[in-house]
Amino acid sequence: MASSVQVKLLLDTSYCLLLIRTRLRQVQGAFEHYRPGEIAVSSLTVAMLEVAARSSHNPVRNRRALDQFLLPLVVVEFDDEAARCLGQIGGQVSAGSVQKAHALLLAAQAMRCNATLVTAQPALYAGIDGVTVRVGLEMEAQLAPSPAALPAGRNGHRTIRMSGSHDLSLTLLSDWLHAEHPEWRLAATNVGSLPGLMALVQHEAHLAGSHLLDEETGDFNIGPVRRLLAPQGLRVIILGFVARIQGILVARGNPKQIGGLTDLSRDDVTFVNRQCGAGTRLLLDYHLHKLGIEPTQVRGYTREETTHLAVATAVAQGAADCGLGIQAAARALQLDFIPIIEERFDLVIPVEHFESALLAPLLALLRRRDLAFCERVTALGGYNTQPMGRVVAEL
């Protein structure tokens, strides 16, 4: 190892590129909470950054920027211990692309260092058991294995398994629950609203996050949840969590002068989409249909990301001109935002779990609507906590 100080954060290649290109100011403050030697990069990442700098349009300037970026960081080598960690996780997912193979190597090195992996593309590490990932330095997420395979451990019976849609405030909810009840954990898997509901049917989760638009009523979740779960004989409670603003994320200054969803059909606009089954994807399809725009008319429609932050990262890095997502993701990466709709993000809970001792602490916290927690949520941007803890429907 390059330092006797315990490495706490390992910055992956995607996140390093984001920092170098965007110079996020909030990261400077986040770094101050760590001692010298506690934030590191892999030698593999350094190699990739060297290649990117030397092959750029201005290699001298970018090489100098890379040297400056690396000054406060520790470089850790991919050693024999890291190779053994790779052997442990290598069979869990297919390496597939070069990018995925690189991600596997970095995941192994994070495990070897017992460090949290900081990334701008969390989807690269989905399916790798036990890898702790932080999406940016302000928003932490535990990428758990699939809910059905979550390790029990000594306190496995106090792990609340959540599936469904991605929302930035869920990290705050998880932290809040753990602070109030240290033996409880909220393990969330971001798969999209529809797959999350199916996870309830398959008994793979205790609750699901959902923001499905009912095209018939204009409301959220009640109609779609009833149509999906009632035929399965599953009785559920829909509990309010937050309302949030969805809109178009664009680069600072909106260089393409995008004004609304009609601009997605322009030849000079490149879009980045969410995955099939995500509520945001369904919301987009609904509005495109209303506007008479075919998916084939949208450049980038088939490029998919699995979280709002991943969409925001693609826009921040210039890989896309715009994407649909929540206002909090735009604020986190200092993007401009064009609001489209306020939607309700609810928690769908089977009755058997709603009445269980396992969920009791979480439900009590939500009903209490703690002022400090609500203020932390609204500070993310574009949130309203009025629905929190209120029963929306019993189906």
341-369 per-position pLDDT tens digit: 999 999 999 999 999 999 999 999 999 99
Average pLDDT of the segment spanning 226-234: 88
Contact 353, 207 (CB under 8 A): yes
Residue 33 banded pLDDT, cuts 50, 70, 90: low
Domain 1-143 and domain 245-343 have a common topology: no
Q: Where are the domains of the chain?
A: 1-143, 245-343
Contact 274, 311 (CB under 8 A): yes
> What are the phi and psi torsion angles at 324 (to 5°)?
-95, 130
CB atoms near residue 362 (< 10 Å): 24
Topology, domain 245-343: D-Maltodextrin-Binding Protein; domain 2 (3.40.190)
Is residue 255 scored above 90 in pLDDT?
yes
Three-class SS of 212-251: CECCCCCCECHHHHHHHHHHHCCCEEEEEEEEEEEEEEEC
Contact 53, 46 (CB under 8 A): no
Topology, domain 1-143: Rossmann fold (3.40.50)
Residue 252 banded pLDDT, cuts 50, 70, 90: very high
Single-letter code of the amino acid located at 337: F
Is residue 41 scored above 60 in pLDDT?
yes
Give the per-residue pLDDT at 32.
62
Residue among 318, 320, 319, 274 at smallest CA distance from 295: 274
Give the per-residue pLDDT at 94.
53
Contact 40, 13 (CB under 8 A): no
Is residue 152 scored above 50 in pLDDT?
no
* pTM greater than 0.85 (yes/no): no
Structure tokens at 81: 């211990």
Q: Which long-range contacts (CB under 8 A, 24 or more apart) does 95-103 make?
A: 99/124, 100/124, 102/13, 102/44, 102/48, 103/12
Question: What is the chain's mean pLDDT, rounded?
Answer: 84
